[in-house]
Amino acid sequence: MYFDTDNKQGLLQFFEEEIVKTIGKEHIQALSILNYFATSLFDKHSVHEVLWSITENCISQLNLEDCVIYILDHKSNTLVQKAAYGKKNKKERKVVSPIVIPLRQGIVGHVATSGVPEIVDDTEDDERYIIDDKPRSSELTVPIFCNNQVIGVIDSEHSEIGFFTKHHLQMFQLIAQLLEKKMTHLFARKKNVYTDDNSYFQAFLTLVETKKIYKNQDVSLSMVANMLGISANYLSQLINKLTHENFTRCINTYRVEETCKMLRRKEYAHYSITGIGLESGFKSKSTFYKAFKRIKGITPRDYKNKSAIRSSHFLEV
């Protein structure tokens, strides 16, 4: 992974720099995971999208069995399941058999009332425990704040007794802070600003211009995002905003420029034109010719012939 402690622009949108430095000193992997969470929220423009993104990432990034976010309904003083991942979801962003928990009831209701996170090592020893889709042995519940008021909780259960650690607690608290910051931004209708000096965009340019990753025929958006330690959606947004092209077209532009350099060099005179295209990273002749014509306005063969004429004219002069 390309991510390092100096490349943390996504986190700085949500946390003070001192907090980010502290996290990095204590646990670089936690910083990397949190950075992924932060960048995955950049293209989310509704509370619904944000909540589902968080629950999905909790499962994939933290290797949890279950994650549910409850939001407080002030009219009924109940906590309503708004997003879930695991058995509570069928990959259609709809909670299966959602339950409603009154304030002060269950571990979830107590945490929402007290505003204090809890780890329950053995749910059988806690009379507050409320079974959801099936009984589990341990539970982690952390409050979500907005404007100093609890607006919900993020909750996870696990089949193992004593599964959740202080590290899980710290990550959930930081994720809850991410939620607070992002939802505050949404309520204030703040928009993300993308500029050329964005550290992730600069790192992307290093990968394509210096390391020439475009020569890998199988390079993909998700692969590069993983190398940078950010979400694929965020990288896609960066490229779209700053190059005015999508990922594939951006990569193909670099491939075409590489092809042009090779077509002009004598040492590649014995290569076929298609061979040069494949050497530059294109996976097929048809894709190569189509991209070249779109970018240069002429075919690779016409480009080679024109380059040869210009070179010959230069020698005669």
- pLDDT per residue as tens digits for the range 98-156: 899 999 999 999 999 999 999 999 999 999 999 998 999 999 999 999 888 999 999 99
Side-by-side strand order, sheet with 67-73: 100-102, 78-85, 67-73, 149-158, 138-146, 118-120
Q: In this predicted structure, what is the pLDDT of residue 275?
A: 95
Determine contact, residues 140/58, Cβ cutoff 8 Å. no
Altogether, the residues listed in the chain come to a count of 317
What is the spatial distance between Cα 312 and Cα 56, in angstroms, rounded to a whole number? Answer: 60
Domain positions in the chain: 44-187, 199-316
Question: Residue 273: pLDDT band by 50, 70, 90 thresholds?
Answer: very high
Mean pLDDT of the chain: 85
Residue 195 has pLDDT above 80, yes or no: no
Residue 4 has pLDDT above 90, yes or no: no
pTM: 0.63
Matching CATH number, 44-187, of 3.30.450.40, 3.40.50.2300, 3.40.50.300, 3.20.20.70: 3.30.450.40
* Within this chain, domains 44-187 and 199-316 share the same CATH topology: no
Residue 203 has pLDDT above 80, yes or no: yes
Residue 189 has pLDDT above 70, yes or no: no
Distances (CA, A) of 270 to 266, 274, 275, 277, 292: 8, 12, 10, 14, 20
Would you state the structure tokens that stand for residue 274, as one six-digit string?
């298609």
Question: Residue 315: pLDDT band by 50, 70, 90 thresholds?
Answer: very low
Class of the domain covering 199-316: mainly alpha
